[in-house]
A and B are shown apart, each in its own frame.
Chain A
Amino acid sequence: MRQSFLPGFDQDVPFLLVDVELVEQPDLRIIGRLMDGPDVDLHIGDSVQVAFEKLSPDIAVPGFALEGNQ
């Protein structure tokens, strides 16, 4: 994402979103930010683990990190 249509993301672009299918529940797919950054070499089928982006002491948004990189 090099441009966001939402407020509050100007400091974050560019960022990379991934579409993740849960091992625990195939067909359930959720979207989150890849915490490894926007420049990683990424392929369909790569494994990720859940990670959290801390927005404030009280708020964290779930994202992902490449397996082995978290």
Chain B
Amino acid sequence: MSRRLAASNKVAIVGYAQSPIERHAQQSLGVLAVETARRAMADAGLDQVDGFVTGSLFPTAGSHALEDGVSVVSANWLAAHLGINPRYAAGFQGFGQIPGAVAMAVNAVASGAADHVLVHRALHNPRGSYHANEMSEVRGSQQWIVPQGYFGPLAMIALAYNEYIQRYGATREAMAAVLVEARKNGARIPWSYWRDRPLSEEEYLAAPMINDPICRYDCDIPIDGVAAFVFTSAERAKDLPHAPVYVSGYATGAPVTPRLPLHWPLDDIMGVGSETARRLWESAGMGPADVDLPQVYDGFSPFVYFWLESLGFCPVGEAHRFVLAGGIDSDRPGALPALSGGGALGNGRMHGVPQMLECYLQLSRRAAERQRHQATIGVACHSSPHFGGAVVYSAEPF
């Protein structure tokens, strides 16, 4: 029995909008989401949609308030404030919100639950420290990490990155190549927070450690920003203004090993990650050699290594040498342009949006002066290979 996604290439992205990415937007997050959703529907040539999906997680360890329309924007909130009573509205509750939400949108269109589904992602940067938490008591599973001082996502990724460095001999110079590449590409993107602001190797290497071996440049910068994409069937897409970009397959990571909170050992990331990759290629009916536009997730820089290796773009343990040798240089012919969309490091904390947006813009031939004319198959990754997921996009149905 084929494990290929039955809806493979039957649902497509037909329009999008991306807000400016700013440290603190002038409007509230809800207003920004409404404006961005309206622009996305207009871009797709539609007056409205009848489906809404998001993953609204506020990725902070801090003690910030969760308020719909202010610090998060749910699918139902957005539909209501657009004055739409949708046939289908749902939220993805796991990690890897972008591939999770895309999968739900594809399923909704393919099943007929909705004809046109808007997938949005709204990210908020609260005032004050993003991850600081003033807790004075701790209960539940966190009682096994907080008194020890193990807290927050920087500590989480520092542990796995330490394992990688010790196991494979990765250098800071290699990671500098990742940051220089992400910020080079981000500097070329009009809506990026880092527009016209590349990063030099020297600046990266001079940055002090926060949780060794993680420095501030290894972390994407918190921002206010919203992106929205419109999905519909391949059939209906023929009548819409832009070239459709087809969803060929998707996968999300699981099952994960039971661990303490925020404890993501390298073997868990890579072990479950290989299963995520296997299911992804099976779903899309292809393998890594077919992909010419991989967009790896980089909310923390070590994820670039973990995704390159998990998806089979280079051998396990070799990603640091691969990037140091120019393997992901978007300006080098024959290289894998794995951060050509700037990623989160080059745009700001838009979660998996920059990866998805780059796949859409390049494959629909809407990337303007950044257009890569040969790109045909893209992969957009989000979060960790073991907790997140990825989506395969194609410029042509096959």
Residues of chain A touching chain B, judged by Cβ–Cβ distance below 8 Å, are: 1-7, 9, 12, 15, 17, 19, 27, 29-33, 43-44, 55, 61-63
Residue contact B209 to A6, C-beta cutoff 8 Å: no
A19 surroundings in chain B (CB, below 8 A): 159, 263, 265
B152 surroundings in chain A (CB, below 8 A): 5
- Pick from B131, B148, B167: contact of A17, CB below 8 A: B148
B144 surroundings in chain A (CB, below 8 A): 30-31
- Pick from A3, A5, A31: contact of B133, CB below 8 A: A5
Task: For the A-B complex with A2-B211, A6-B146, A17-B148 known, give 14 more contacts whose Cβ atoms are closer than 8 Å.
Answer: A1-B149, A5-B132, A6-B135, A12-B149, A19-B263, A29-B263, A31-B145, A31-B150, A31-B159, A33-B148, A44-B163, A44-B166, A61-B147, A62-B148
Residue contact A2 to B265, C-beta cutoff 8 Å: no
Which B residue sits closest to A7, measured CB to CB?
Answer: B134
State in angstroms the CA–CA spacing of A32 and B150 once bound together: 8
Shortest CB distance B394–A (Å): 40
State in angstroms the CA–CA spacing of A5 and B129 once bound together: 9
Residue contact B148 to A63, C-beta cutoff 8 Å: yes
Interface SS, B side:
loop
B58 surroundings in chain A (CB, below 8 A): none
**Can you list 20 A-B contacts with CB-CB less than 8 angstroms, sorted by A residue number?**
A1-B155, A2-B208, A3-B210, A4-B151, A5-B151, A6-B146, A6-B149, A7-B134, A7-B135, A17-B150, A17-B155, A17-B159, A30-B260, A31-B144, A31-B148, A31-B159, A32-B148, A44-B163, A61-B148, A63-B148
Cβ-based interface call for B259 (8 A): yes
Interface SS, A side:
loop
State in angstroms the CA–CA spacing of A44 and B167 once bound together: 8
Residue contact A31 to B260, C-beta cutoff 8 Å: yes
Which B residue sits closest to A12, measured CB to CB?
Answer: B149
> 1/0 per residue B134-164: CB within 8 Å of A?
1110000000111111111011000100010
Which A residue sits closest to B152, measured CB to CB?
Answer: A5
Which residue, B134, B149, B212, has most C-beta atoms of chain A within 10 A? B149
- Pick from B62, B135, B163, B211: contact of A3, CB below 8 A: B211
A55 surroundings in chain B (CB, below 8 A): 147
State in angstroms the CA–CA spacing of A33 and B146 once bound together: 11
Contact A15 to B265, CB < 8 A, known contacts A1-B211, A7-B135: no
B260 surroundings in chain A (CB, below 8 A): 29-31
State in angstroms the CA–CA spacing of A61 and B265 once bound together: 22
Cβ-based interface call for B84 (8 A): no
Shortest CB distance A20–B (Å): 11
Cβ-based interface call for B61 (8 A): yes
